Amino acid sequence: MKDVSRMSGHSTYTLKYYLQLGLVEEIGRSPATNFRYFDDSTLERLKAIRVLRNQGFSLGEINTRLSKKS
């Protein structure tokens, strides 16, 4: 989570919120540490979310737009 936060520029709080909303998804968890795993597609999705937020879209609108692309 911290690595994705650092790489994306989003706070861990924001990432957890996006996870709750279903805007991003973890690809797995470590059985030993329970750390979340993410991949490059998560970073791309976070970039898209940031662009759309800067354009004034709400998180609900973003979720709808990104869901249509998937």
pLDDT tens across the length of the chain (70 residues): 899 999 999 999 999 999 999 999 999 999 999 999 999 999 999 999 999 999 999 999 999 999 886 5
Helix or strand (DSSP H, E) at 37: strand 36-37
Query: If you classify domain 2-69 with CATH, what class do you get?
Result: mainly alpha
Domains of the chain, by residue range, sit at 2-69
Q: How far apart are the first and last CA of the chain?
A: 23
Give the per-residue pLDDT at 21.
Answer: 95
Overall pTM surpassing 0.95 (yes/no): no
Q: Give the chain's radius of gyration (CA, Å).
A: 12
In contact, 37 and 31? CB cutoff 8 Å: no
Tokens 């937020």, residue located: 53
